[in-house]
């Protein structure tokens, strides 16, 4: 027996369409109108561990926001975000992760914006 935890180098949320179709909670999806400088709530099933940093070398902890269709199938990063808070909780026998992230920049091109964990 061990501790099941997933280390996440990005925040991967579902398409907002899945909320509109009643398949997901709003916090499990990328907001319909994502805005730079705004903070948003998120919700993920499982115990997820996210990176926090204020080190300038690492661009103050910026990480990619992606859209997922599940099974680790991710879009290219659609934005750069910074985690503000994360907490874990139980519902029945399931562990969930919820928190807040702030949108730093929305990407409007196909350029590469991250090299590994570092924002470029």
pLDDT in tens, 1-13: 688 899 999 999 9
Residue-level pLDDT at 1: 67
- pLDDT tens digits, residue range 13-38? 999 999 999 999 999 999 999 999 99
Average of per-residue pLDDT values in the chain: 95
Instruction: Confirm whether pTM is higher than 0.85.
Output: yes
DSSP class of residue 14 equals B
Whole-number percent of the chain with pLDDT over 70 = 99
E strand residue ranges, the chain: 6-8, 11-13, 39-45, 48-50, 62-70, 73-74, 79-91, 94-106, 114-115, 118-119
More confident residue, 66 or 116: 66
Q: Which of 22-26, 73-77, 113-117 has the lowest mean pLDDT?
A: 113-117
Three-state DSSP class for residue 112: coil
């Amino acid at each position: 027996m061990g501790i099941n935890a997933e280390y996440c180098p990005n925040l991967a949320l579902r398409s907002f369409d899945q909320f509109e179709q009643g398949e997901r909670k709003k916090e499990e999806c990328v907001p319909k109108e994502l805005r730079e400088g705004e903070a948003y709530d998120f919700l993920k099933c499982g115990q997820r561990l996210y990176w926090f940093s204020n080190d300038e070398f690492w661009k103050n902890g910026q990480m990619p926001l992606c859209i997922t269709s599940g099974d680790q199938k991710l879009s290219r990063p659609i934005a750069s975000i910074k985690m503000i808070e994360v907490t874990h909780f139980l519902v029945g026998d399931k562990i969930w992760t919820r928190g807040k992230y702030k949108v730093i920049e929305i990407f409007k091109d196909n350029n590469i914006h991250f090299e590994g964990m570092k924002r470029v």
